[in-house]
Amino acid sequence: MSPMRVLGIETSCDETAAAVVDDGRLVRSSVVASQSDLHARYGGVVPEVASRAHVELICDVIEQALVEAGSSLDELDAVAAVRGPGLAGALLVGVSAAKAISLVRRLPYVAVHHHEAHLYAAMIEDPQLEPPLVTLVVSGGHTLLIAMEDHGRYRVLGETVDDAAGEAFDKVARFLGLEYPGGPAIDRLAREGDPEAVRFPRPMHADGLDFSFSGLKTAVVQYVRKHPDTDVADIAASFQAAIVDVLVDKLLAAARETGINTVVAGGGVAANSALRERLLDVAVAGELRVVLPSVALCTDNAAMVAAVGAYRLAADGPTPLEAPVVPNLRLV
Binding site for ligand KG4 (CB under 6 A): 13, 139-141, 166, 169-170, 181-184, 187, 267-269, 271-272, 299-300
Q: Which does 169 bind (CB under 5 to 8 A by kind): ligand KG4, Zn ion, none?
A: ligand KG4
Overall size of the chain counted in residues: 332
Closest distance of CB 275 from ligand KG4, Å: 7
- Of the pair 131, 266, the CB lying nearest ligand KG4 is at 266
What residues form DSSP beta bridges with 29? Answer: 20
**Min dist. Cβ of residue 270 to ligand KG4 (A):** 8
Q: How far is the CB of 268 from Zn ion (least distance, A)?
A: 6
> Which residues, in sequence order, are bridge partners of residue 33?
16
Shortest CB 266 distance to ligand KG4, Å: 8
How many chain residues bind Zn ion (CB under 5 A)? 2
Closer residue to ligand KG4 (CB): 89 or 140: 140
> Of Zn ion, ligand KG4, none, which one does residue 299 interact with (CB within 5 to 8 Å by kind)?
ligand KG4
78 interacts with, out of ligand KG4, Zn ion, none, CB within 5 to 8 A per kind: none
CB of 268 to ligand KG4, least distance (A): 2
Residue closer to ligand KG4, measured from CB, 189 or 263: 189
**Cis link prior to 85 (omega < 30° from 0)?**
yes
Number of Cα atoms under 13 Å in the Cβ half of residue 189: 22
| Neighbour-count burial of 221, counting CB atoms closer than 10 A to its CB (0-12 exposed, 13-18 middle, 19+ buried) | middle
Which is nearer to Zn ion, 14 or 300 (by Cβ)? 300
- Residue number with CB closer to ligand KG4 (22 or 170): 170
Helices (H), 140-272: 165-175, 182-190, 214-226, 232-258
**Residue list 223-262, contact with Zn ion (CB under 5 A):** none
- By CB under 5 A, the residues from 286 to 305 that bind Zn ion are 300
- In this structure, which long-range contacts are made by residues 124-132, counting pairs with CB atoms below 8 Å and at least 24 apart in sequence? 124/21, 124/25, 124/27, 124/293, 124/297, 124/303, 124/304, 124/307, 125/291, 125/292, 125/293, 125/294, 125/297, 126/291, 127/25, 127/26, 129/262, 129/264, 129/291, 132/258, 132/260, 132/262
**Closest distance to Zn ion from the beta carbon of 118 (Å):** 6
Compute the least distance from the CB of residue 127 to ligand KG4, in Å: 22
Considering the complex, state which of residue 268 and residue 309 has its C-beta at the smaller distance from ligand KG4: 268
| Pairing label, strands 262-266, 153-159 | unpaired
Cβ atoms of 58 and 94 within 8 Å: the answer is yes
C-beta of 264 vs 271, nearer to ligand KG4: 271
Instruction: Mark out the alpha helices in 77-202 (DSSP H runs).
Output: 88-105, 114-125, 165-175, 182-190
Give me the residue whose beta carbon is nearest to Zn ion: 139
Q: Does 35 contact Zn ion by CB under 5 A? A: no
Q: Which does 158 bind (CB under 5 to 8 A by kind): Zn ion, ligand KG4, none?
A: none
DSSP structure class, residue 79: E
d(CA 177, CA 259) in angstroms, rounded, equals 43
Instruction: Look at residue 269 and give the partner it binds from Zn ion, ligand KG4, none, a contact being a CB closer than 5 to 8 Å depending on partner kind.
Output: ligand KG4
Of residues 110 and 253, the one with the C-beta less far from Zn ion: 110
82 and 117 in contact (C-beta within 8 Å)? yes
Is-contact 9 80, C-beta < 8 A?
Answer: yes
Q: Which residues on neighbouring strands pair with residue 147, listed in sequence order? A: 134, 155
- Give residues 135-194 in contact with Zn ion (rule: CB under 5 A): 139
Residues that bind Zn ion (CB under 5 A): 139, 300
